[in-house]
């Protein structure tokens, strides 16, 4: 029986050519599996199906994974305020594990013994695909045709033409783009020079601030146990809420990132992102935590957040360490319930107010007004013992030694 | 002989009254010591001297500590990208240790056996003052008149009048403000309600973005070993450079912070800051590190940065732990030399380019173009072993177990 | 109505005198509450009751909290291999929170508005008592008579005699001792000189190794999900198991600790402990984790363990951070099921074998024999990319730069 | 010109065969380079030279690197109390970087373009060799004949015989052993079953405790700035001191480790070590730090120690992160000067006393005797503010909420 592989199918040039190439070169049956994590536009599904069939797929699946992606992947990341290197909300990194979950399920449905992907050999996504696959289904082989085929973009276009795969692609591809509900990643072209400022053209989710509404406005995001549940008082499902926040914030031209980041494989790459929804939600979530997390918990959580972001970036979403860190993070979210007001203006998005039914901000303790409930006399003893260890050090080893 | 105390003197109502109050109540001679860390405006020095004398100070000192503050305090903090809770550049927290150094030196000069401060019992600054003092001079007593005197603002104004201390102060003080070269902290009044958006009035370093120049512009900051040394190619001393960056960035209305933070004494307080210079320099410095720090070093440094910020906030600048963390941070800065371009527009300040003579960004490794030098074949083995530990876990304990 | 306080009652001199002293000096009714966490010997309960009554307690409670202590306090600590400063199994630190839980419950039963303890002002236990009490019952006052009464030991003995409190105590108390199921802490006397070797006399749980059985032997401890459940194949309840392990290991003279530790209040103190049961169980548990925890999880858990031990030591058992770290730790224990063999010999206790039904040790991967399943070819690529980031650093900034 | 490679030469079967094999199969000239890090016995040098020549080496070098190894590698590790997974003193891991330094220097001397090693594809040592080599000399190729040749032990013995390489090796090699001044690592054979207790036979550095001197004794180790400098008052060079401590401690049968550890390549392996010198020195050093390191510094250092051990284990000794962590650690050692007494008895080695000229242990603060200098009244305020954050949490979100 011919071996069967489920390929993560984007509908683009590379994976379309890969469908046929794998059949030709490796004599395998290819199931094309497109997982929608928010990147598909309405109507795109049919075109994808047709193209996969034309490329020779024995089966095509288009799976709407948006709700699941938002609930089971984006929300844990939001709870951890996950930003790789303090900046990148892990747009691509978060989508790979959910895609692999569907590839594996599809492989089981179709009796496949392998899964495949179109990642190159120097990026992070191969790591995420393969590690997730080996964890979820150690028995499945992982095939990576594009990593070994040695084809240039021009070669691919020629093959597509020869094989009658209906796809329009220019030989000069300017940018490499990956997109989903959490944002959009832009690489290559002029961006490969980290001194060059990013041009205006590749951005689609964020308007140029110069074209933003001149009127500033506020929005209020409501959270329950760390999860955003409402916008300006209107209860919304996650997919809808993320979408609307992204549109609003993006319309004010906020949410772009320009950075050089460290890939897992050991190289630095210049990346440009636009992530209005994810950055705004993390900003609001973190701000709400400011009044709902106890100090020591908040301090330790900062360290955990860094580790969570590294793990997601490094392809270890499905690892047991992620499970344990997730347990920590979940435990912190119980009372992250309340509202945050975001002020929007051209090129800006800022938290301007926050409130919570179980806020730990205590006006009577904090106020400098006369009627405060803080026992000032406690401070003297506190400060002396807080510094006693360092004071003793000073007397024996430091500046105060005799 | 009458006991002598060196009081940290701001020239404001509280410390002016404290000079006389301490003489009256505690029978001590007060040396008023004003340390300029950038908060004084030209000409203010004379007014300060006169006021202190009028209040009964036996000696008055006004010390220009700006260069020293920038070099020995702000630069180590910048090297650590020190932001408390990820946001606050430690404006007040950084100034206290340098002030205490001068108080102690002054105490030695004037034969004083105590230092004094005007901090309240619920803030962080008392911790910073007293811990630094106990470390630098464990033999000196620390006096905190305002923590125990039980006077309201109105009482202080009455006393100032009775004692002929020339000071204009309204009984309704709206905000409590602390300022120096690194930024400006604003507390109290309407801000004590964390749901209220900050009003426009208290900001002086940052223009309302609506009033910013409509023309956007770029500035280029040059660094040597982590220290900013030039602006748009012009070599500048630190005080000058920080001042100019602050003016430029502030003129575009960028650099405000609105947060609820965790004080060391255990309470949350709502704080508003405007820090155009420090935030812009940290942004640029961190961006330059993106191309000059090796990955594992950069990852660990993130954790160290958090700890450094906590220590500074908690009053432990002069502690031995700070010394050891400082050694780590210094070691990382050797090659943080290069330039960062910041794009300024109304309400915005963003890094749009970075370059370094010893950049670790390697175009030939990173490029997706055909001629790259990355050995793609290495990836297969790498990814397999990178995930092997988690794969084994899966087979025995996880989703892949049999 | 007279105010009522529930005092943590040990039956010793200090708390016995405190019962009467508080009545005399503070005019309060004292409920004496003795919580057995393994320190009581059979029959001691009656003597405790009589003494408390003689001292004037309005109520006496002796509560057997051993099962609860073992299950809800010692087991989470064991799961975290909690050793303060890498050595001390937190004997006293773990018992305070459970004692406070009972004090608070007792206060509710008896309509008390305060709880009390007999800790001094420079130790850790006051921190643990008071912080736990303020967390569990912020409305209850905390009274600490011994911290303020200014009585010497001789004074206490005189008062006990005058008040007819039946207690035998010598004016020369050599050591201060605290004991429970998890071990025994010994302070004071000759031990206050950290250069003096601990004398033989104060040890009761651990025999002098010279007097240990000359025959060495092995014991096997079985764990389920991180909890010890059997000894040499015999299923045992926790109290019984901890007791038996302690006797066996202690009979071989193993389990003593001699250290100078850092107290929370900022001073260093020399402490001697004997903890045969807890140290042996932690040793076995950690060893079992060696074959049942995945690598990255194990590495991160080391850091969490340090933080957990600090929190327990610092009196923060009931804090929200402890809750979140506990969630992390619990998540790691699911498969810590198996057996560890401990070899016992005079002065020694060592793990000599470990096995687990879901062990991650994979002989076929690990063996150096010919038939291994490891793909050696993967290593070349792995090693190259593992070192690529540092290699690039070397070429640009390090020893290999040109 | 024929390509030249410098091979790390142990004098054992594998590397001896490799010398000739590389010449035959790869047509390279092999320089055999044996680096003595304490594994050579007097007189062994000549045998090594002869064997290498017989195997066909074009040059043989035997380099005494013991002083350098002790000073530049072992001492930084000791300063960091480096124990991988809390137990293993990194015996092999520490030696590889110094060996590579000499291989590279030799390659420069002999005009070689490659270095070589005899490590297998599943161990850690290949990682250490290759990563160090790529960092120190990115231009040199790394050759790993044993990873690819596919020869069994029997094959090697046959080849050695055919090629007249004078070496006595039994076809049944029971254990794989690596040894240097810091200890001895034992793998394979019966040890591959982690449930089997280690047999007595492979140990050479540690006596069976049953055969230890019955008389117990003490030794005193003196340190200066973290470095051991004397034994029982006698100043000794490092190599001598480490050797003598190892003999003394080993003669009492202490210093064995039996563990399952996590290799970098993702597999767990059962390892048995005997490390009397390193473990005793780390024990003494850590104990001295107990009285010479300030509390917060000591707490943070624990975390740094874990990271240092991981880096060394993972082959990253020469990485920039190691440099920065080393700067932290060095900074901590300034006052780690003093003496530690170790009590030796059969199977035991324990710190029983410690003293330091700049000890931070302050008897007057610590004592429970009447004349102490601690201000007990400070405690009340300290404890209240120490717990205030958690108390506020309790009132709003925790057990005390209303």
The reply to whether B387 falls in a domain is no
What is the number of CB-based contacts under 8 A between chain A and chain B? Answer: 306
Which one of D173, D204, D237 terminates a domain?
D173
- A26 and A162 housed in the same domain: yes
Query: Do D323 and B331 touch, CB atoms closer than 8 A?
Result: yes
CB contact under 8 A, A300 and C319: no
The reply to whether B400 falls in a domain is no
Which residues from C are below 8 Å from A300, CB to CB?
A: 307, 321, 324-325
Query: Do A227 and A282 touch, CB atoms closer than 8 A?
Result: no
pLDDT average, residue stretch A351-375: 83
Q: Which two tokens stand for residue C6?
A: 């529930």
CB contact under 8 A, B361 and A194: yes
Select from A176, A177, A147 the least CA-distant residue to A21.
A147
Query: Is pLDDT of A165 > 90?
Result: yes
Would you name the residues of D annotated as active-site residues? 14, 96, 125, 176
Mean pLDDT of all residues belonging to chain B = 95
What gap in Å lies between CA D120 and CA D118, rounded to an integer?
Answer: 7
pLDDT, tens digit, for every residue of B327-348?
999 999 999 999 999 999 999 9
Give the pLDDT confidence score for residue D376 in this predicted structure. Answer: 77
- D116 and D234 housed in the same domain: no
Domain count for chain A, please give it: 2
Per DSSP, what are the bridge partners of residue C295? none
Give the pLDDT confidence score for residue C122 in this predicted structure. Answer: 87
**Range in A371-385, B306-320, C262-276, C333-347 with the lowest mean pLDDT:** A371-385
CA distance D282 to chain A (A): 23
pLDDT, tens digit, for every residue of A170-215?
777 778 899 999 999 998 888 999 999 999 999 999 999 999 999 9
Return the exposure string of C17-45: e unless at least 16 CB atoms fall within 10 Å of the residue's CB, then b. bbbbbbbeeeebbbbbbbbbbbbbeeeeb
The reply to whether C289 falls in a domain is yes
- Any alpha helices (H) in C149-231, and if so which ranges? 153-162
CATH of the domain at D89: 3.40.50.620
* Chains adjacent to A (≥3 CB pairs closer than 8 angstroms): B, C, D
Which one of A136, A154, A173 terminates a domain?
A173
- A196 and A342 housed in the same domain: yes
CB contact under 8 A, A121 and B379: yes
Is residue C178 within a helix (H) or strand (E), and if so which, with residue range?
A: strand C176-180
Residue in this structure with the two tokens 């764990």, named with its chain if needed = C223
Give the pLDDT confidence score for residue A129 in this predicted structure. Answer: 97
pLDDT average, residue stretch C21-46: 96
Assign C160 a pLDDT band (cuts: 50, 70, 90): very high
The single residue of A10, A23, A95, A125 carrying the catalytic annotation is A125
**Range in C14-23, C117-126, C132-141, D96-105 with the lowest mean pLDDT:** C117-126
Mean pLDDT of all residues belonging to chain C = 95
What is the number of other CB atoms lying within 10 angstroms of the CB of residue D139? 11
Angle at B310 between CA B307 and CA B312, to 5 degrees: 110
The reply to whether D321 falls in a domain is no
* Chains adjacent to D (≥3 CB pairs closer than 8 angstroms): A, B, C
pLDDT average, residue stretch D192-214: 95
Phi-psi region for residue D118, left (φ > 0), alpha (ψ -120 to 50) or beta? Answer: alpha
pLDDT, tens digit, for every residue of B151-181?
988 999 999 999 999 988 777 777 889 999 9
- D241 and D263 housed in the same domain: yes
Query: Is pLDDT of C371 > 70?
Result: no
Which residues touch C281 (CB under 8 Å, ≥6 apart)?
C78, C221, C228, C242, C245
Query: Is pLDDT of D265 > 70?
Result: yes
* Backbone phi, psi, residue D19, to 5°: -55, -50
CATH of the domain at D213: 3.90.1260.10
**Of D401 and D317, the one with more pLDDT:** D317
The reply to whether C120 falls in a domain is yes
Per DSSP, what are the bridge partners of residue B178? B185
pLDDT, tens digit, for every residue of A20-31?
999 999 999 999
The reply to whether B15 falls in a domain is yes
pLDDT, tens digit, for every residue of D147-157?
999 898 899 99
Among C385, C387, C401, most B C-beta atoms within 10 A, so best to mutate, is: C385
Give the pLDDT confidence score for residue D56 in this predicted structure. Answer: 96
CB contact under 8 A, C352 and D258: yes
Highest mean pLDDT: which range of A115-129, B142-156, D167-181, D303-317 = D303-317
pLDDT average, residue stretch C371-376: 71
What is the residue range of A160's domain? 4-73+83-173
Helix (H, G, I), strand (E, B) or coil at C124: coil
Query: Is pLDDT of C47 > 80?
Result: yes
**pLDDT cut 90: percent of chain A above it:** 88
- C242 and C341 housed in the same domain: yes
Q: How large is the ipTM?
A: 0.96
Mean pLDDT of all residues belonging to chain D = 95
What gap in Å lies between CA D144 and CA D132, rounded to an integer?
Answer: 14
Of B266, B290, B382, which is closest to A260 when you measure between CB atoms? B290
pLDDT, tens digit, for every residue of C279-302?
999 999 999 999 999 999 999 999
Would you name the residues of C annotated as active-site residues? 14, 96, 125, 176
Q: How far is CA C286 from the centre of its chain?
A: 16
- C250 and C130 housed in the same domain: no
- D280 and D349 housed in the same domain: yes
- A39 and A118 housed in the same domain: yes
- B216 and B68 housed in the same domain: no
Say if strands D268-274 and D256-262 run parallel, antiparallel, or are unpaired: antiparallel
Give the pLDDT confidence score for residue D262 in this predicted structure. Answer: 97
Give the pLDDT confidence score for residue D369 in this predicted structure. Answer: 64
Is residue B262 within a helix (H) or strand (E), and if so which, with residue range?
A: strand B256-262
- B211 and B98 housed in the same domain: no
Supply the Cα-derived Rg of chain D in whole angstroms: 25
Give the pLDDT confidence score for residue A304 in this predicted structure. Answer: 98
Among D263, D296, D317, D332, most B C-beta atoms within 10 A, so best to mutate, is: D296
* Chains adjacent to B (≥3 CB pairs closer than 8 angstroms): A, C, D
Q: Report CA-CA distances (Å) from A148 to A121, A265, B375, C19.
A: 8, 17, 11, 82
**pLDDT cut 90: percent of chain D above it:** 88
Give the pLDDT confidence score for residue B401 in this predicted structure. Answer: 87
Number of H helices, E strands in chain A: 15, 14
Of A295, A358, A384, which is closest to D396 when you measure between CB atoms? A358
Q: How far is CA B203 from the centre of its chain?
A: 17
Give the pLDDT confidence score for residue B370 in this predicted structure. Answer: 58
Which one of D143, D173, D203 terminates a domain?
D173
The reply to whether C16 falls in a domain is yes
Is A164 annotated as catalytic?
Answer: no
CB contact under 8 A, A300 and C307: yes
What gap in Å lies between CA A199 and CA A203, rounded to an integer?
Answer: 9
Query: Is pLDDT of D371 > 70?
Result: no
Q: Which two tokens stand for residue C265?
A: 């209040």
- A265 and A250 housed in the same domain: yes
Give the pLDDT confidence score for residue B310 in this predicted structure. Answer: 98
Assign B306 a pLDDT band (cuts: 50, 70, 90): very high
Query: Is pLDDT of B36 > 70?
Result: yes
Q: Give the strands of the sheet with C338-345, arranged side by side.
A: C234-235, C227-231, C217-224, C338-345, C348-355
- A25 and A101 housed in the same domain: yes
CB contact under 8 A, B354 and A195: yes
Give the pLDDT confidence score for residue B371 in this predicted structure. Answer: 58
What is the number of other CB atoms lying within 10 angstroms of the CB of residue B34? 25
Which residues from D are below 8 Å from B331, CB to CB?
A: 323-324, 326-327
The reply to whether A310 falls in a domain is no
Give the pLDDT confidence score for residue A122 in this predicted structure. Answer: 87
pLDDT average, residue stretch D72-89: 98
- The 8-class DSSP code of residue A106 comes to H
Assign D402 a pLDDT band (cuts: 50, 70, 90): confident
**pLDDT cut 70: percent of chain B above it:** 99
Q: Which residues of D touch B (CB under 8 A)?
A: 262, 265-268, 293-294, 296-297, 300-301, 307, 311, 316, 319-321, 323-332, 385-389, 391-392
pLDDT, tens digit, for every residue of C247-260?
999 999 999 999 99
């Amino acid at each position: 029986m011919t071996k069967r592989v489920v390929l993560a199918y984007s509908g683009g040039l590379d994976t379309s050519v890969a469908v046929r190439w794998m059949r030709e070169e490796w004599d395998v049956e290819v199931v094309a599996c497109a997982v929608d994590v928010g990147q598909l536009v309405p109507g795109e599904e049919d075109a994808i199906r047709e193209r996969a069939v034309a490329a020779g797929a024995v089966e095509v699946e288009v799976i709407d994974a948006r709700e699941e992606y938002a609930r089971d992947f984006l929300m844990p990341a939001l709870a951890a305020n996950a930003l790789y290197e303090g900046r990148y909300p892990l747009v691509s990194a978060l989508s790979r594990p959910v895609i692999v979950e569907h590839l594996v399920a599809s492989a089981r449905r179709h009796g496949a013994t392998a899964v495949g992907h179109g990642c190159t050999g120097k990026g992070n996504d191969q790591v995420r695909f393969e590690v997730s696959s080996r964890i979820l289904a150690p028995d499945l082989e992982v095939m990576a045709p594009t990593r070994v085929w040695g084809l240039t973009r021009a070669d691919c276009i020629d093959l597509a033409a020869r094989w009658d795969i209906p796809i329009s692609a220019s030989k000069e591809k300017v940018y490499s783009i990956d997109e989903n509900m959490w944002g959009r990643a832009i690489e290559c072209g002029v961006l490969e020079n980290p001194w060059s400022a990013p041009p205006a053209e590749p951005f689609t989710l964020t308007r140029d601030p110069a074209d933003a509404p001149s009127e500033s406005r506020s929005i209020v995001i409501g959270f329950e146990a760390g999860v955003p549940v409402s916008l300006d008082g209107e209860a919304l499902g996650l997919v809808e809420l993320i979408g609307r926040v992204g549109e609003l914030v993006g319309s004010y031209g906020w949410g772009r990132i320009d950075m050089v980041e460290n890939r897992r494989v050991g190289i630095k790459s210049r990346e440009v992102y636009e992530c209005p929804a994810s950055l705004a939600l993390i900003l609001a979530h973190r701000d709400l935590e400011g009044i709902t997390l106890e100090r020591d918990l908040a301090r330790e959580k900062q360290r955990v957040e860094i580790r969570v972001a590294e793990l997601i970036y490094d392809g270890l979403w499905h690892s047991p360490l992620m499970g344990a860190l997730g347990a920590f993070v979940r435990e912190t979210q119980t009372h992250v319930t309340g509202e945050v007001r975001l002020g929007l203006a051209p090129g800006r998005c800022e938290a301007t107010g926050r409130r919570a039914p179980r806020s730990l901000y205590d006006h009577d303790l904090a106020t400098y007004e006369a009627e405060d409930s803080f026992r000032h006399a406690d401070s003297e003893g506190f400060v002396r013992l807080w510094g006693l260890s360092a004071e003793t050090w000073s007397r024996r080893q430091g500046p105060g030694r005799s």
